[in-house]
């Protein structure tokens, strides 16, 4: 089928938000609350195998702080996560976390070419809006006709629920869409929904198994900053544009 939609993950895919945004926000709120918790970059690398902020905190406690007790742990974790989200939004608003190479160009190209755009992520809707508004501008929010985010589905990545939600909202077949991801959990989520993926790796995911991906790249590329092909068919293209994506989709649908 013809390509009709591009569905983007957010953290690590649109921008390198994990290290410069989420990790800092977690450590700031831990310190403000007087908790003796500190997540190093090395530890956070491991924690990212768990999708969802609240789920990540729970896993951290179970694995590294199993002597910690709170008489209402679920609500305590939820409150920490709410405050962490506020801090993250503040950090993003400073403009210190730019988009990854080629992201804005591809979104502009897709929009002008009539492709539909959507988001499928485990991060919160507030985080999605903060990143888009502060890196692209408020008008770009309207380009994404569906934002599947946070707790809109019960099971988070690697389950396919968030992608199935977006497909249902857009009323399209999975073969009419391509997913943009940066992690194995994201790839498995898209694959579970029947959607092929374009992967752009980052420092946390460059050693993940991406065997099911259409292509694996270091970034989307620009005219003066070509991508490096890590896995996939060699083509004449040196940056990801709509023509390149339609070619990929036609070969594999």
pLDDT for 253: 67
Annotated catalytic sites, by residue? 9, 11
Among residues 59, 93, 127, the one where a domain terminates is 93
Same domain, 128 and 10: yes
Query: What CATH number does the domain containing 225 carry?
Result: 3.40.50.1000
Q: How many domains does the chain have?
A: 2
Could you tell me the CATH number of the domain that includes residue 52?
1.10.150.240
Q: How is residue 193 written in tokens?
A: 């929904």
At residue 228, φ and ψ (nearest 5 deg) are -105, 125
> pLDDT tens across 6-59, in order?
999 999 999 999 998 999 999 999 999 999 999 999 999 999 999 999 999 999
Q: Where does the pLDDT of residue 68 fall: very low under 50, low under 70, confident under 90, or very high at 90 and above?
A: very high
Q: Is the pLDDT of residue 1 over 80?
A: no
- How many angstroms separate the CA atoms of 113 and 136, rounded? 18
Task: Provide the CA 58 distance to its chain's centre, in angstroms.
Answer: 20
What is the domain range of residue 85? 18-93
Do β-strands 5-8 and 116-120 pair in parallel, antiparallel, or remain unpaired?
parallel
Q: Which of 33, 60, 93 is the last residue of a domain?
A: 93
pTM above 0.85, yes or no: yes
Which two three-digit tokens encode residue 10? 């957010």
Q: What is the pLDDT of residues 97-156, one digit of tens each?
A: 899 999 999 999 999 999 999 999 999 999 999 999 999 999 999 999 999 998 999 999
């Amino acid at each position: 089928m013809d390509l009709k939609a591009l569905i983007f993950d957010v953290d690590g895919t649109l921008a390198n938000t994990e290290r410069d945004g989420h990790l800092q926000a977690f450590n700031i709120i831990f310190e403000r609350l007087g908790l003796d918790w500190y997540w190093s970059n090395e530890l956070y690398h491991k924690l990212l195998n768990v999708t969802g902020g609240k789920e990540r905190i729970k896993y951290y406690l179970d694995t590294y702080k199993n002597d910690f007790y709170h008489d209402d742990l679920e609500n305590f974790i939820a409150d920490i996560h709410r405050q962490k989200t506020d801090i993250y939004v503040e950090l993003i608003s400073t403009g210190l976390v730019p988009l990854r190479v080629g992201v804005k160009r591809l979104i502009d190209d897709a929009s002008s070419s009539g492709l539909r755009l959507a988001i499928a992520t485990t991060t919160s809707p507030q985080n999605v809006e903060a990143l888009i508004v502060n890196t692209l501008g408020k008008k770009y929010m309207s380009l994404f006709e569906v934002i599947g985010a946070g707790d809109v589905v019960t099971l988070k990545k690697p389950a396919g629920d968030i992608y199935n939600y977006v497909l249902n909202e857009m009323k399209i077949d999975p073969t009419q869409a391509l997913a943009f991801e940066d992690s194995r959990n994201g790839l498995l989520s898209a694959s579970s929904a029947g959607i092929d993926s374009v992967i752009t790796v980052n420092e946390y995911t460059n050693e993940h198994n991406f065997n099911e991906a259409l292509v694996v790249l270091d970034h989307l590329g620009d005219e003066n900053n070509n991508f490096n092909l890590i896995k996939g068919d060699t083509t004449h293209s040196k940056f990801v544009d709509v023509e390149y994506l339609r070619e990929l989709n036609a070969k594999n649908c």
